Amino acid sequence: MAAGAAATYFGLRNMGSMAEYNASVAATRSALKQAPETSDLIRYATLAANSHNTQPWQFKISDVGIEILPDMARQIAIVDPDNHHLFASLGCAAENLAIASGGRGKPGELSFSSANDGAVMFAFGGGAPVEPALFDAIPKRQSTRGDYEGKAVSSRDLQTLYAAAAVPGVDLVLITDRPQIGRLRDLVVAGNNAQIADAAFVQELKTWLRFSPRQAIVTGDGLFSATSGSPALPAWLGPVMFDLVFKAKAENEKYARQLASSAGVAVFVAQKEDREHWVLAGRACQRFALQATALGLKHAFINQPVEVAGLRPELATLVGLPERRPDLVMRFGYGAALPFSARRPTESVIIS
Task: State pLDDT tens for residues 218-254.
Answer: 999 999 999 999 999 999 999 999 999 999 999 999 9
User: Which pLDDT score, from 0 to 100, does residue 13 have?
Assistant: 66
User: Which pLDDT score, from 0 to 100, does residue 99 have?
Assistant: 97
Q: 3-state secondary structure string, the chain?
A: CHHHHHHHHHHHHCCCCHHHHHHHHHHHCCCCCCCCCHHHHHHHHCCCCCHHHCCCEEEEECCCEEEEEECHHHCCCCCCCCCHHHHHHHHHHHHHHHHHHHHCCCCEEEEEECCCCCEEEEEECCCCCCCHHHHHHCCCCCECCCCCCCCCCCHHHHHHHHHHCCCCCEEEEEECCHHHHHHHHHHHHHHHHHHHCCHHHHHHHHHCEECCHHHHHHHCCCEEHHHHCCCCCCCCCHHHHHHHHCCHHHHHHHHHHHHHCCCEEEEEEECCCCHHHHHHHHHHHHHHHHHHHHCCCEEEECCHHHHCHHHHHHHHHHCCCCCCCCCEEEEEECCCCCCCCCCCCHHHHEEC
User: Which pLDDT score, from 0 to 100, does residue 228 have?
Assistant: 96
Could you report the per-residue pLDDT of 84-142, keeping only the tens digit for each?
999 999 999 999 999 999 999 999 999 999 998 999 999 999 877 889 999 999 999 99
User: Which pLDDT score, from 0 to 100, does residue 11 have?
Assistant: 54
Positions of the chain with pLDDT under 50: 1-10
Using CA atoms, how far residue 109 sits from 64, 120, 137, 138, 288, in Å, is 11, 10, 20, 18, 19
Contact indicator for 161, 174 with CB cutoff of 8 Å: yes
Going by C-beta distance under 8 Å and a sequence separation of 6 or more, which residues neighbour residue 22? 339, 340
For 332, other C-beta atoms within 10 Å of its C-beta total 25
User: Which pLDDT score, from 0 to 100, does residue 127 have?
Assistant: 74
User: Which pLDDT score, from 0 to 100, does residue 12 have?
Assistant: 61
Burial of 276 (0-12, 13-18, 19+ CB in 10 A): middle
> pTM to 2 decimals?
0.96
Query: In the chain, pLDDT over 90 holds for what percent of residues?
Result: 94
Domains annotated on the chain, with CATH: 2-185+258-351 (3.40.109.10)
User: Which pLDDT score, from 0 to 100, does residue 5 have?
Assistant: 42
Q: At what angle do helices 155-164 and 275-294 cross, to 10 degrees?
A: 140
CA 111 to chain centre: 21
